[in-house]
Amino acid sequence: MSQQQEISIQNAILSNRLTTDALLQNVEEIASMRLELQRIREVQETSRNAWGQLLHHVVSIYEMNEERIRMIAMMQQETNSMFQALKMKHQVCRELQQRQPILIVLVWFATLVVLV
């Protein structure tokens, strides 16, 4: 075998080793990327689940607040009704207090008329 052939074979072996090393490095990078992609997918799934739970919680709070607002509105109406009733009762009591002396005089006069 000639020296030229030997150099050519050594160059081919060196080239094969470099190519093999580059391919192995690419395989390792791809494996690393696959692991990273899997991790990202797991994070996405976890995030999706967390957002779903958060959305469910927010909707529940919104519905509770709506119910409370309706209850407050009903209580406000009841309070207004009670206030109006008390206001009317107070007015009636004031009118009766103002008329009481007249009633006493009328009763006294009626008593006099009956006695005479």
Q: Is residue 49 part of a domain?
A: yes
Q: From CA 1, how far away is CA 9, in angstroms rounded?
A: 11
Give yes or no for residue 8 having a pLDDT over 60: yes
Q: Is residue 103 part of a domain?
A: no
Q: From CA 34, how far away is CA 46, in angstroms rounded?
A: 18
Which amino acid is residue 101, in one-letter code?
P
From the number of C-beta atoms within 10 Å of its C-beta (0-12, 13-18, 19+), residue 41 rates as: exposed
Q: Is residue 7 part of a domain?
A: yes
Q: Is residue 96 part of a domain?
A: no
Q: Is residue 104 part of a domain?
A: no
Q: Is residue 113 part of a domain?
A: no
Confidence of residue 97 (pLDDT cuts 50, 70, 90): low
Model pTM score? 0.50
Q: Is residue 101 part of a domain?
A: no
Domain count, the chain: 1
Domain range for 19: 1-85
Tens digits of residue pLDDT in 48-90:
999 999 999 999 999 999 999 999 999 999 988 888 888 887 7
For 2, 17, 21, 27, the CA distances from 13, given in Å and listed in that order, are 17, 6, 12, 20
Q: Is residue 109 part of a domain?
A: no
Q: Please give the structure tokens belonging to residue 116.
A: 């005479």
Q: Which range is most confident: 5-9, 60-64, 79-83, 95-99?
A: 60-64
